[in-house]
Amino acid sequence: MARPSKYTADDILDGALHAVALHGRQASVADISQATGVTTGSIYHRFSSRDELLARLWANKAIALGAFLLFLLAFSALAAPLFVRHDPLQMKVVERLRPPSSVHWMGTDEYGRDLFSRIVYGGRVSMGVGGAVTLLSVALGLVLGLYAGYYRFLDALLMRFCDGLMAIPGILLAIALMATFGPSARNVVIALTLVYAPGVARIVRSSVLKVREQNFIDAIRLQGAGPGRILWLHVAPNVLSPLVVQASYIFADAIISEAGLSFLGAGIPAPAPSWGNIIQAGKLLVFKAWWVTVLPGMTIVLAVLGLNLIGDGLRDWLDPHRRMPMGRKRARRPSRASLSCGDAPPGGPCELLQVDGLRTRFATEAGELTALDGLTLSVREGEILGLVGESGCGKSVAAQSILRLYDEKFQVSYEGAIRFEGRDLLSVPLRRVPEIRGGRIAMIFQDPLSALDPVFTVGSQIVETIRRHDRVSGREAALRAEELLALTGIPSPGERMKSYPHELSGGMQQRVMIAMALSCRPKLLIADEPTTALDVTVQAQILDLIRELRERTGMALLFITHDLGVVSELCDRVAVMYLGRVVEEAEADELFARPLHPYTRGLLASIPPLEGRRPLRAIPGTVPPLSRLPAGCAFAERCDRRLERCLRELPELEGCGVQHRVRCWNPDGVSE
């Protein structure tokens, strides 16, 4: 039985390391408790973030060895006056070229100066230059790369500037700058910064180009975050892993470059010691006094080795997928107060969302392409509208056009109207759109893992969404986030708050996405195929959860899916899309009982029956590309009951009964 004694954090850390040694990288809090005799509650309370950080760092052997080498060199350089017995500038001609001995640990140079003191004091200059070049080049390259990769209009300008600098060999550029401004430590730093910054910028830019297209960036933009917040809080952390490795390379290479410049006489001027000019002074004495060049050269080797080890170790440590799962702080128990996630269901069937004649066009190299062509649909308060159709019919484009997610990524133009709560969203200035995204309208993406930021815990992402739209404290936002996770059926929500997306199953990830979407009590929730990537059992659980949340919160739902079976069970009304238009719309029971459009009939005929056996019918042909839109009915080429009129004229969406509309010249199947 564990004894609840007053152990210090250091005692618990020692026990944690002992538990890791016994149980490997998967040591749990229970293992630490058994190794220390401390209750798990005390461990959660006392295991501070500092101790967790140290445990994770020192568990990486590459970081430990590299840090030891670098600390040894840096400490000796900084503490040189405390233990160095000789003046590095004092010349004694009578003691010139003395080999290593008890008096001169590394011998003397051609002027009788103590080589050990010169190497130690030279570390101040060489490592100082390397550190300054690393900080400046990484900072400059990070800014250039982030803005060039995120803003398309800056890309060509900034990258051509970097290409111009990279076209000149780095050492020649540095020599030219040093010859222009004169040799000094400051000028060496400036010259080498201009050499390394363009390379950093290109690495950052390539990472940003990949990250900005990820679904989690769209999800964050949907939550109402502005470009600056997205760029620095979500894009920048995702490019740091390769940047850490590049920074260690720059630090090491800057030390070598400074030594090369000093060796050529264009670096740190004598008599101030640096590792480069020490080697330069002994270049003609290699065979006569080997220690003058070999020992400072070995010092450079140790510094470069230590930096590379640190870079490789930090790359692994910064990757959340490789972090050692140590004990976590106990999450605060949620209060028993009921959670209100939305307004009460409205009494009347008022239309919440109206899309009238929406046309979404994208500018491409092949010309302007129309993805949505006169889309018309509506969602009433509290209802679930199913939006179905084949891949390529424009369902996801419709969802993202409603939220104007394409505005910041593509050259896009809109026509028509998108009225939400009576307000036309297309007339809202782009800077005001984030106030609506995530607050009044939320969205669930198809792939939850790619829609969640991999470098932040799921709890922090929900908290960020809440604090973006509601002026609440971080503590209150965390409590609300924990309650939302509990509302979506996630067990132990306090523990799951600390989890990274990759640590959760697909069903858990989708529940987190639902909790994030509900965090600001939206009136309308857009679910873009939220169950496609899940197995059948989890699909049923998610659908039951969506149905229950609709009943409890009264929100409306635009449900996009391929699965007509799900639509029949979940949705109140159904809209069938084909090539950017709604071709049929009706109440769910009415549509499944009396489908009128041949495309709807084809979709229903492709569903396997629950009882009996019948051959499945596939719709012939494929959805035509946007570059070859037909003049008449878009489905005419695939229709088995088309008329001559169908090839020439586009039918309108007209009523064929109570709340049943269809876009077809021949809904009754009459032959000519």
pLDDT in tens, 204-260: 998 899 888 888 888 888 778 888 888 988 898 888 877 877 888 899 989 988 888
Residue 618: what pLDDT? Answer: 83
SS3 317: helix
Residue 445: what pLDDT? Answer: 84
For residue 569, count other CB atoms closer than 10 A to its CB: 13
Residue 671: what pLDDT? Answer: 54
Closest CA to 6 of 52, 42, 31, 41: 42
Q: Pick the range with the lowest mean pLDDT from 533-537, 579-583, 585-589.
A: 533-537
SS3 663: coil
pLDDT in tens, 300-319: 999 989 888 887 777 666 55
Q: Between 320 and 603, whose confidence is greater?
A: 603
Residue 44: what pLDDT? Answer: 41
**H helix intervals, 403-473:** 448-451, 458-469
Sheet holding 412-420, edge to edge: 367-380, 351-364, 412-420, 423-424
Q: How confident is the model at residue 358 (pLDDT cuts 50, 70, 90)?
A: very high
| Average pLDDT score over residue span 422-427 | 90
CA distance 332 to 335: 9
Q: How confident is the model at residue 1 (pLDDT cuts 50, 70, 90)?
A: very low
The DSSP bridge partners found for residue 249 are: none
For residue 641, count other CB atoms closer than 10 A to its CB: 16
> How much of the chain exceeds pLDDT 70, in percent?
84
Q: How confident is the model at residue 57 (pLDDT cuts 50, 70, 90)?
A: low
pLDDT in tens, 105-135: 898 988 889 999 999 999 998 999 999 999 9
| Average pLDDT score over residue span 337-342 | 34
| Average pLDDT score over residue span 556-584 | 92
State yes or no: pLDDT of 579 exceeds 70.
yes
pLDDT in tens, 588-634: 999 999 999 999 999 988 887 766 676 778 888 888 888 888 888 99
Rg, C-alpha atoms of the chain: 33
HSE-CB for 230 with a 13 A CA cutoff: 24
CA distance 660 to 123: 82
Angle at the Cα of 156 (from 229 to 241), degrees rounded to 5? 50
Q: How far is CA 569 from CA 523, 564, 574, in A?
A: 22, 9, 11
One-letter amino acid identity for 348? G
State yes or no: pLDDT of 14 exceeds 80.
no
CA distance 32 to 36: 6
Average pLDDT, the chain: 81
End-to-end CA distance of the chain: 88
Residue 349: what pLDDT? Answer: 53
pLDDT in tens, 185-205: 888 898 899 999 999 999 999
SS3 9: helix
| Average pLDDT score over residue span 265-290 | 83
Residue 338: what pLDDT? Answer: 33
Tokens of 218: 């769209």
Residues 438 and 224 sit within 8 Å (Cβ to Cβ)? yes
| Average pLDDT score over residue span 161-166 | 87
**Residue whose tokens read 């790359």:** 315
pTM: 0.60
Q: Under 8 Å CB-to-CB from 281, ≥6 apart: which residues?
A: 109, 110, 270, 292
| Average pLDDT score over residue span 500-504 | 91
Q: Between 639 and 174, whose confidence is greater?
A: 639
